[in-house]
Amino acid sequence: MTSLTERRLAQLPADTRPLPPIAAYDRLLIARQVADRPAAKGEMP
C-alpha cells in the first residue's frame, strides 16, 4: 500500500533550482569561532 504523501510526491516535477549560496553563513561561523576563542597574550580582546 502506498501512502497519500508518497503518491503526491511522486507527481511533483523534479526540483531543478540551483542550491543557494552559503558562503555568507560560512563567514558568520568563522567570525563566531574567532570571537569565541580566548585572546592570545598581547592581543586585543
31 in Cβ contact with 25 (< 8 Å)? no
Give CA–CA dist 30/38, Å, rounded.
14
The pLDDT of residue 44 is: 59
Looking at residue 1, its pLDDT comes to: 80
pLDDT at 16: 95
Q: In this predicted model, what pLDDT tens digit does every residue of 1-45 receive, in sequence order? A: 889 999 888 888 988 999 999 998 888 888 877 777 766 666 555
pTM of the predicted protein model: 0.34
